[in-house]
Amino acid sequence: MDNVISLFKQLFSTGQFGHIDVVNFLINVLFVWIIVQFLYYRKSKHRSFYFTFIMLSVAIYFLVYFMVFVLEDLKGKTGIGVGIGLFGIFSIMRYRTDAMPVREMTYLFSVICVSVINALGSSIGTVEMLLPNVIVLLAMTACEMLLMSKHEESKLVQYDRVELIKPECRDELISDLKQRTGLNVTRVAVGSVDFLRDSALLKVYYEKNDDNDPEINNTVKPKREVWEEVKEK
């Protein structure tokens, strides 16, 4: 009991709970939550990735922190082991069996990097540790704002009226797509054509609509997990 009381006294006086730097951990959770909540989830609405990013950040923070600082007295013996451990952490990006979209991959890598930086930054001042967090947050915000400023999106469409894919029928094709999809189509690119089944694969460009999911837009046959995401919404 006395040990527990002394740990809480240490927490309120120094911001540490035993070997754990609680302040740095809270900073890590705060920045990762801002990235996931206001940058990623605001646009994608994928709850499964939301859970993955947050929990992966917490787990990696403690993993790196304990490897480097709790075993500080064994630093000479564990230097190579820590290096291998960090390599394994970044290799976790290949733990999936299905291909991950590029945007989700970028956020996963960013969350891992921020968590590792914050765990290793416990040996420096709070101000110095905040700087890379702020830089990463500002860079991701700027990129998201730049993407959001685009007024055109695209989706893949399997089209059945192959007689309209000819260049001279482009206006009629766009008019037909507008009527059948309800989208304000601006231009169309023709892909593969199957005359045996009277179908063609079109890439349809239209004015931006916040209700559309970019991951589904460019998928002809969504995977099972994508359907599950749609059902959850």
pLDDT tens column, 136-161: 999 999 998 887 666 778 888 999 99
Which secondary-structure segment (H or E) carries 191?
strand 185-194
Write the single-letter amino acid at 43: K
Within 10 Å of residue 29's Cβ, how many Cβ atoms?
16
Does the predicted model carry a pTM greater than 0.75?
no
Return the pLDDT at 22.
79
Listed in sequence order, the residues at least 6 apart from 94 whose beta carbon sits closer than 8 Å to its beta carbon are none
Domain ranges of the chain: 2-148, 152-232
Please write the tens of the pLDDT for every residue from 110-132. 998 899 889 888 777 778 889 99
